[in-house]
A and B are shown apart, each in its own frame.
Chain A
Amino acid sequence: MTLLAQAPAGLGNPAIDYHAIAPELVLAGTAFAVLLLDVFLRRQRKWYAMPLSFAGVLGSLIAALTLIGERHETFGGTFVVDNYALLFKVFFLTTALVILLLSLRYFREGRYYQGEYYFLLLCSFVGMLTMPSSRELLMLFISLELVSAPAFLMAGLRKTDPRSNEAALKFFLISVLSTAIMLYGMSLIYGLTGTTKLAGIAEALAGPIGQSNLALAAILFVVAGFAFKVSAFPFQFWAPDTYEGSPIPVAAFLSVASKAAGFAGLLQLMFVAFLPRADFWTPIFAVLSLFTMTLGNLIALQQRQVVRMLAYSSIAQAGYMLLPFALAGNSAAVNRDAFAATVLYILIYGVMNLGAFAVVIGLAREAPGALISDFNGLSRRNPAAAFALTVFLVSLAGIPPLAGFWAKFFVFKAAITSGRALGAWLAIAMVVNSVISLVYYFGIVRAMYFEPVAEPVRTLRIPPLVAAVIGLALIGVITIGVFPPLFTRFPGISTLIGR
């Protein structure tokens, strides 16, 4: 260890700031400990992996919290810990805690490969932690793959179910395709600009190189790769099948954490590296956003299966998150607003969507198919769960005074105050979409409250850990809704842009 630290910088072994990568180290260590532990556990005790993972994530979270207010750079400036990175790291780690809580009972009862699952989950989260810190194309690529690769396996964990196999395979094939395109784009960018650092790319693109068609094609390719990750149109095909086939906690993971990771990378690429050519890519994002939200909403209307519906809903929500990208340009103030709007949307979406998935997981034991009709009369079988799910769905639809409204509000505000006609039109498209989304969100509410339930009413019991998650998300959604400054100040502190 000491040898390594003392090695001269010229040898290409730069000093490593271990404090900066402490969260990742703790998490990666835990992941291997979990894998190792699994070998020595008897079948009935395999679930011990979950408390161990939980402790590891908690440790990682504490490590991340010790970094607050500091700025670290390591690996020659390719890995940066600033408040932007920390914001996402804390968000990812909190999400990880929630996913772990949701997973325990589901995987224990399902007799899945628990040790492997927790190992893969933690690995994926390591990738998420490095994502917002990556200020260089290779780091970004590695992070993205580290997020994705374990997810293929997790999606296929229900090995005996053909739908789960299909889920994993579809996910894998489309992912590989988009990764190849993205990697090609990255290589072009390196060839053109001579650097893989985001800031360096921005400088080069601002010059004559940025005018070349090749540069534009490269940007397009890289965007395509990330569009897959955030399940944007036309790369959204995998999401519904994959979500439906995966174990439900994995679907929750994919729709919140994995998607947020994609956005964490995309935000850096677009608002830092490619910003000089915003004039070229903002129309692309306008189209991406418009089609993603509209398509997601219209298809969600047809769904009978809740996880599938939530998958399309999450596609539509990704469309809303993409909207602010289309506003980027020369004005630092507009960029800051747009950037903050997307970040805030991701954070709030995470809270409310995890809440909704938690309720679905709560029902999973008796309704593994998670059809909307399985929710019939839930208001009488478990009034608290029905109330909570109603709050999450109302929030997803963006009705005040709940958190989801503020997420949308800030996007609207960024769009209108950009002062461009494009922004106003996109805002109009988005409000129309919000109204459409109400129909399918309230399809579930309708089932829970208006549909009769067979007598005698069987009370539904929700496992305590899942109930705890539901309770926390509920408190979050309502408190943020009533007093938004709790959350709205976070995106504002990010110094990634507006320098």
Chain B
Amino acid sequence: MNGWEQSAITLATFLPAAGAVVIALVPGDRDRFVRSLGIVFTGAALVVGIVMLFGFDYGARDGLQFELNASWISAISARYHVGIDGISLPLFELTLLLTFLCAIYTYRILPSPGRPKAFLALMLLLETGMAGTFIAFDLVLFFIFWELVLVPMYFLIGIWGSANREYAAIKFFLYTLFGSVFMLLGFLAMFFKSNPHTFDIIDLQKFGAMGGFTRGIQLLVFAGVFLGFAVKVPMWPFHTWLPDAHTEAPTVGSVLLAGILLKMGTYGFIRIALPILPDAARVWAPIIGVLAVIAIVYASLACLAQKDLKRLIAFSSVGHMGFVMLGIATLTDIGVNAAVFGMVAHGIITGMLFFAVGSIYDRYHTRQIADIGGGMLQKLPLLAGIFTFTAIASLGLPGLAGFWGEVTSLLSSYSPSNLLVGAGHLTLFRALMVFGGIGTVLTAGYFLWMLQRVNLGTVPEGWRDQALPDVTRTEILAWAPLLVGILILGIFPRLVFGTTNDAVTALVRVFSG
């Protein structure tokens, strides 16, 4: 049992990487076999993840579970320290689930130029990077996983993307790399200023909570890691890579980008920036809050102007991540809980939205709303129904998953942390709540308008006589867990809140003063 406890995370994280190697070494052109291997490896990782769900102690107030802390690079005292807590768990499981569904989807659907071997190997490598980021408790290890996603995603966009793919791929790479190198310098500064020198996130959190870092150092280091995380989230004004990358990426790439990659940034804020640099977080929180709300409003206005369906969904991500960041900026347990919930909900919903948009494109071979021209409910009733359901979840309808993250986030900004109130930011945060609220209205507006233009009305001349196939079995298989998830998380938000709450409470304790 002990061996299982220690190795479960490593197993789930590196099974996909091993799968990537196996798939790359499959000789010849055995298309179906390779695609099944993709399902097998992501499935195996998911099984490990699910078994972990049952072994996880939800009552534990504090500390890591499934922890393994082994020596790695003694020269710089970097260790292979992995573990999982209430904040990591939902994101880790989400990663394993979404990638598995992507593998199922890829079993039938793969954009030109095909080459399933390369596609799946890259996707599996990507999964290891994403999953690893959420369980690494050593800054060097965290950074390795963090950067591991860049090269696979670059190729996923660059080879299998749509028309403007090369530009989008290198832009994505350069933006995120630019942010993350400053983050690395921030990590090194943390190492240097901690006593004893350590890269261990838990130790650094303790050291930071004791006030080990001086205020000046904290502000500097926070600026460094802020760049890394903010580009990844992405926060306004660092978001410009996102619409390009999401729009040009193949469906699976967009699903994983929106579903998981963006969460790495917000997770970084919660796991590293806030607890290790609490004083700087207090100073930065109002700035983050303002940027978050600008993102919400800006994104919804941008969405109203979009003509490309996929680009619209991409921009909506900027807004949704704004709600997550607003929750984080309040520095309260409610806000951070809302943020984690928002991350999971956005992962499921927007992942599903990108799946749906990908399938719409497969039928119509266009993403322009005007060219689709409406009437999808008549033409493709099932697909249109699923699209409607997901879009409505995304706009935050009560009873579906999108609601809880956003409303709790707004709620938390009504009463931000006492420290922020003490610094005279109460009015600011209440104003942010109002603007965020306006954002939700706009969000509802653009989603409903989009549905009206795509789903309602009559089928235009051009499409009337074309036989467009409705949702296939593979698609249903890949989507069902997400659709069910949207409903279940909407009805039982406790499934996530109950998991995260203890860990979040422990984490924001430093801000309760």
Could you say which residues of chain A place their CB within 8 Å of the CB of B150? 399
CA gap between A108 and B365 in the complex, in Å: 55
Q: Which of B72-103 contact A (CB under 8 A)?
A: 72-76
Q: Does A106 contact B (CB under 8 A)?
A: no
Could you say which residues of chain A place their CB within 8 Å of the CB of B178? 432, 435
A431-446 CB mask vs B (1 if < 8 Å, else 0) is 1101100110010001
Could you say which residues of chain A place their CB within 8 Å of the CB of B173? 438, 442
Could you say which residues of chain B place their CB within 8 Å of the CB of A450? 158-159, 165-166
Contact A434 B181 (CB under 8 A): yes
CA gap between A406 and B143 in the complex, in Å: 12
Residue of chain A at shortest CB distance from B179? A435
Task: Please classify the interface of chain A as helix (H, G, I), strand (E, B), loop, or mixed, using the class held by over half of its residues.
Answer: helix
Contact B158 A417 (CB under 8 A): no
CA gap between A492 and B76 in the complex, in Å: 11
Q: Does B429 contact A (CB under 8 A)?
A: no
Q: Does A375 contact B (CB under 8 A)?
A: no
Could you say which residues of chain A place their CB within 8 Å of the CB of B170? 439, 442, 446
Q: Does A412 contact B (CB under 8 A)?
A: yes
A433 CB to nearest B CB, Å: 10
Q: Does A144 contact B (CB under 8 A)?
A: no
CA gap between A202 and B185 in the complex, in Å: 34
Q: Does A207 contact B (CB under 8 A)?
A: no
Q: Does B60 contact A (CB under 8 A)?
A: no
Could you say which residues of chain A place their CB within 8 Å of the CB of B435? none
Residue of chain B at shortest CB distance from A402? B151
Contact B144 A431 (CB under 8 A): no
Could you say which residues of chain B place their CB within 8 Å of the CB of A7? none
Q: Does A428 contact B (CB under 8 A)?
A: yes
CA gap between A442 and B169 in the complex, in Å: 11
B163 CB to nearest A CB, Å: 13
Could you say which residues of chain B place their CB within 8 Å of the CB of A405? 144, 147
Q: Does A484 contact B (CB under 8 A)?
A: yes
Could you say which residues of chain B place their CB within 8 Å of the CB of A419? 192
Chain B interfacial residues counted at CB < 8 A: 32
Could you say which residues of chain A place their CB within 8 Å of the CB of B166? 446, 450
B136-177 CB mask vs A (1 if < 8 Å, else 0) is 000010011001101100110011000001100010011001
B226 CB to nearest A CB, Å: 15
Could you say which residues of chain A place their CB within 8 Å of the CB of B74? 485
Give which listed residue, A400, A449, A492, contacts B143 with CB less than 8 A. Answer: A400
Contact A485 B75 (CB under 8 A): yes
A396-424 CB mask vs B (1 if < 8 Å, else 0) is 00011100010001101100110100001
Contact B148 A400 (CB under 8 A): yes
Q: Does B397 contact A (CB under 8 A)?
A: no
Q: Which of A444-499 contact B (CB under 8 A)?
A: 446, 449-450, 484-485, 488-489, 492
Q: Does A385 contact B (CB under 8 A)?
A: no
Contact B191 A417 (CB under 8 A): yes
B18 CB to nearest A CB, Å: 13
CA gap between A416 and B185 in the complex, in Å: 7
Q: Which residues of B are interface residues toward A (Cβ below 8 A)?
A: 72-76, 140, 143-144, 147-148, 150-151, 154-155, 158-159, 165-166, 170, 173-174, 177-178, 181-182, 184-185, 188-189, 191-192, 197
Q: Can you add 18 more A-B contacts, CB < 8 Å, to A417-B191, A438-B174, A485-B75?
A: A399-B150, A401-B147, A401-B148, A413-B76, A413-B191, A416-B188, A419-B192, A428-B182, A431-B181, A431-B182, A432-B178, A435-B178, A438-B177, A446-B158, A446-B170, A450-B159, A450-B165, A488-B76
Q: Which residues of A are interface residues toward B (Cβ below 8 A)?
A: 394, 399-401, 405, 409-410, 412-413, 416-417, 419, 424, 427-428, 431-432, 434-435, 438-439, 442, 446, 449-450, 484-485, 488-489, 492
8 A-B residue pairs with Cβ-Cβ distance under 8 Å, sorted by A, are: A399-B150, A400-B143, A417-B191, A432-B178, A450-B165, A484-B75, A489-B75, A492-B75
